[in-house]
Structure 1
Amino acid sequence: MSSDAITASPEGLYRRAKVTAADERVFIAKLVAAYGIWGIGVALALLVEACPVRLLGVVLIGAMYCHWLELQHQCLHHSAFRRARLHRLAGVPLGVPLLVSYSHYRARHLQHHRYLGTVQDSEFFGFDSRQPITWSALIREALAFGRLLGAIADIVRCWAGTWSYDIGQISPDREREAASEYRMFAVPIVGAVMLAALGHGDLVLWVWLLPLLVAVPLHFLVELPEHIMCDNASTDVLNNTRSITGSWFSTWYTNGNNLHIEHHAAMVVPINQLRDRHDITLAFAAHTSPSYPKFFRAIAREASANARVNRSRK
């Protein structure tokens, strides 16, 4: 940690910054890389006969579907482009594989930022960081494929005209945008069914369905560190949120989600600028970790300790 960070004020975390042309180029490069790696995965899954290589393709595709949500997350905050309208244009397609409506996610997620540390907090992805950490809860949430079924139910309700935003209030325009995105999700679903009916089910299986088995648990692991084992009754981001220093790879893959204290302190600051504030976080925050492996070892210890306590009560 630098001496400047030790003497710095934590107010530096909250400093605002506008999206620059350089920030925009960084995000576009991330998009190109994400779609390029996805394309490599598709090629491996479909064009190579060797099963291990095809499975590697599935892993790459699923890993990118998870990564796309982290890129979508930056779009939610309008911190990727200088023109606001580009965020929805880029953000909507990133959520299609996991049926995540950009506008619905944005409304819920901004409420999460506003109400973090209060009973009104309601994140779009519903893992409750206040619940006891147990192996059964971790496995259940890692395999929460039911969210996809919930999204399909939302699609049906939107086509029936009965869907409405049910957590707080949003403007009629934002509600219409979310409903239109859910209706749009019917297109890939119907397309997948038609492909299967026409004898191209392998395409759907290898490029969409099997990768979901990778993407859903991976996304849970990416989201898990944010607020778990923090002070969930506090509204102070230095106490209710965690940052992980991580490597260049984990910072890229999570799109800076490891720098979560920095993000909550200044949510409209471009993700690629947050690393410069990390030394301040290390100096003042209550919950930090040097790496993802160390964080997950702490989670495993907590789950094991709770399991021992539960066994002793029986």
Structure 2
Amino acid sequence: MRPDAGTASPEDLFRRAKVTAADERVFIIKLVVASGIWGIGVALALFVEAWPVRLLGVVLIGAMYSHWLELQHQCLHHSAFRRARLHRLAGVPLGVPMLVSYSHYRVRHLQHHRYLGTDQDSEFFGFDSRQLVTWSALIREALAFGRVIGAVADIVRCWTGTWSYDMGQISRDRERDVVAEYKMFALPILGAVVLAALGHGNLVLWVWLLPLLVAVPLHFLVELPEHIMCDNSTTNVLNNTRSITGSWFSTWYTNGNNLHIEHHAAMVVPINQLRDRHYITLAFAAHISPSYPKFFRAITREASANARAGRSRKQE
């Protein structure tokens, strides 16, 4: 039975929990649901003549590519399956559409957890939450398609033997995993080229390229609330991270990324268990939003205020 808020303790946020058979089933259901929605999107994009419906299909496909990265994120933490080796088996294909190497992402992301609140903190997706919130920064990062181009460059470097890890130490085994995954990404790219050459370019366009125009900014919006406008000078997760209470839909779509304080406090706890700890966050955390709309309103106010301050400084 869950304690009430009056008996809550911050230490309960950090309590460990193992992945159970039930947790594993929940994650598998998430994979099935996401694959089903992706299939519906593909059917709408390819087999319906009405343009609005086809565009809806593109949106669904792109939304699932972004959602798959959140499922991949859970695999990074080995909190989806009871057997560790299954995480890479599931995690690698989840990153293929957006060319996100599971092993590269895992090394960088675990460093983010280790160094959050210090000068060494650096996320795999490069938005710096410590920078000033401006409209230009938000738009630039939301449209950061250069990350996909950077992944293509990593693929080339891996095939030419010139790739190296540039964010600290990495074991030989992890380096081999990263190189193998980037090399593997050459297969879908070559497959897309072959399909286009054989006259099936529309398949590539509607199922991969156009959905990326949706997936990249959507993923930015999912990741944005995590640490921005928090106290990035402290290692205290109750002050340097944000949680969003959210709805069942936002919790599903972000795969619990809205419960980010809870996740940073206990990163190996299965995502579906984090909701039971949210009452502790509500009692003790500094940065909580009740919903995504309220968070994004706060971000727009901050960007607008900084824009006005910038204009005032120029007029002085």
TM-score clears 0.5? yes
For residue 213 of structure 1, what is the aligned residue in structure 2? 213
Check the 8 A contact 1:6/1:280 in 2, yes or no: no
What is the correspondence of 1:90-169 to structure 2 with a 5 Å cutoff? 90-169=90-169
User: What's the offset of the Cα at 1:6?
Assistant: 3.0
For each residue in 1:66-88, what CA deviation from the matched residue of structure 2 results, as whole angstroms up to 9, or x when unmatched?
Answer: 00000000000000000000000
Partner letter of residue 239 of structure 1?
N
What is the correspondence of 1:82-93 to structure 2 with a 5 Å cutoff? 82-93=82-93
Q: Separation in 2 of the partners of 1:182 and 1:303?
A: 37
Bigger drift between 158-167 and 220-229 goes to 158-167
Check the 8 A contact 1:108/1:124 in 2, yes or no: yes
Q: Separation in 2 of the partners of 1:92 and 1:277?
A: 29
For each residue in 1:183-213, what CA deviation from the matched residue of structure 2 results, as whole angstroms up to 9, or x when unmatched?
Answer: 0000000110111111100000000000000
For residue 223 of structure 2, what is the aligned residue in structure 1? 223
User: What's the offset of the Cα at 1:165?
Assistant: 1.2
Q: Which runs of 5+ in 2 are unaligned?
A: none
Q: Separation in 1 of the partners of 2:3 and 2:57?
A: 45
For residue 46 of structure 2, what is the aligned residue in structure 1? 46
For residue 249 of structure 2, what is the aligned residue in structure 1? 249
Percent identical: 88
For each residue in 1:258-284, what CA deviation from the matched residue of structure 2 results, as whole angstroms up to 9, or x when unmatched?
Answer: 000000000000000000000000000
Asked if residue 81 in structure 1 is aligned to residue 81 in structure 2, the reply is yes
Q: Separation in 2 of the partners of 1:23 and 1:4?
A: 24
User: What's the offset of the Cα at 1:170?
Assistant: 1.5
For residue 70 of structure 1, what is the aligned residue in structure 2? 70
Partner letter of residue 40 of structure 1?
I
Q: Which runs of 5+ in 1 are unaligned?
A: none
For each residue in 1:132-165, what CA deviation from the matched residue of structure 2 results, as whole angstroms up to 9, or x when unmatched?
Answer: 0000100000000000010000000000011011
For each residue in 1:1-43, what CA deviation from the matched residue of structure 2 results, as whole angstroms up to 9, or x when unmatched?
Answer: x972233110000000000000000000000001110000000
Check the 8 A contact 1:135/1:304 in 2, yes or no: yes
Partner letter of residue 213 of structure 1?
L
Instruction: State the SS of the aligned residue for 2:235.
Output: coil
For each residue in 1:107-138, what CA deviation from the matched residue of structure 2 results, as whole angstroms up to 9, or x when unmatched?
Answer: 00000000000011110000000110000100
TM-score w.r.t. length of structure 1: 0.99
For residue 312 of structure 1, what is the aligned residue in structure 2? 312
Instruction: State the SS of the aligned residue for 1:234.
Output: coil
Bigger drift between 4-13 and 250-259 goes to 4-13
Count the aligned residue pairs: 313
Q: Separation in 2 of the partners of 1:298 and 1:191?
A: 43
Check the 8 A contact 1:37/1:60 in 2, yes or no: yes
Change (3 A) 1:3 1:171: closer
Computed over aligned residues only, the root mean square deviation of the Cα atoms, in angstroms, reads 0.8
Q: Separation in 1 of the partners of 2:6 and 2:70?
A: 30
Instruction: State the SS of the aligned residue for 1:42.
Output: helix
TM-score w.r.t. length of structure 2: 0.98
Q: Separation in 2 of the partners of 1:50 and 1:262?
A: 44
For residue 56 of structure 1, what is the aligned residue in structure 2? 56
Q: Separation in 1 of the partners of 2:175 and 2:119?
A: 23
Q: Separation in 1 of the partners of 2:104 and 2:5?
A: 38
For residue 269 of structure 2, what is the aligned residue in structure 1? 269
Q: Separation in 2 of the partners of 1:83 and 1:56?
A: 37
For each residue in 1:43-79, what CA deviation from the matched residue of structure 2 results, as whole angstroms up to 9, or x when unmatched?
Answer: 0000111110000000000000000000000000000
For residue 239 of structure 2, what is the aligned residue in structure 1? 239
Q: Separation in 2 of the partners of 1:245 and 1:120?
A: 29
Q: Separation in 2 of the partners of 1:311 and 1:296?
A: 23
Change (3 A) 1:3 1:18: closer
Runs of 4+ in 1 over 4 A off after TM superposition: none
Q: Separation in 2 of the partners of 1:312 and 1:11?
A: 45
Partner letter of residue 139 of structure 1?
I
Q: Separation in 2 of the partners of 1:215 and 1:6?
A: 41
Q: Separation in 1 of the partners of 2:6 and 2:137?
A: 38
For residue 25 of structure 1, what is the aligned residue in structure 2? 25
For residue 189 of structure 1, what is the aligned residue in structure 2? 189
Q: Separation in 2 of the partners of 1:174 and 1:256?
A: 27
Q: Separation in 2 of the partners of 1:88 and 1:120?
A: 26
